[in-house]
Amino acid sequence: MRINVKAYPKSHTNLIYEKDGTYIVRTTAPAAGNLANKAIIKMISDKFSIGISNIKIISGQNFREKILELKETKSDQ
């Protein structure tokens, strides 16, 4: 499954919600050093109850708008 994400690094709080088919992810982590991407993956992992190793950034690694691929685990099938 692929999802669209719009990231807001260096926010005042960690928050994730869906708006118009896109997941808005606000994280307190800065974009520098890939810290925001790691925080976003962790937050998506918690939201969908899947391991972080099952989430990959397909596009937008260095941009605010991203596409993430979530792989189903055997227990999800």
CA distance 34 to 45: 17
According to the model, what pLDDT value does residue 16 have? 97
What is the residue extent of each domain of the chain?
Answer: 2-76
Q: Is the pLDDT of residue 75 over 90?
A: no
Name the fold adopted by 2-76.
Conserved Hypothetical Protein Mth637; Chain: A; (3.30.1200)
Strand order in the sheet with 22-26: 15-19, 22-26, 2-8, 65-70, 55-59
Q: Is the pLDDT of residue 77 over 60?
A: no
Q: Mean pLDDT over residues 20-49, rounded? A: 96
pTM, two decimals, is: 0.89
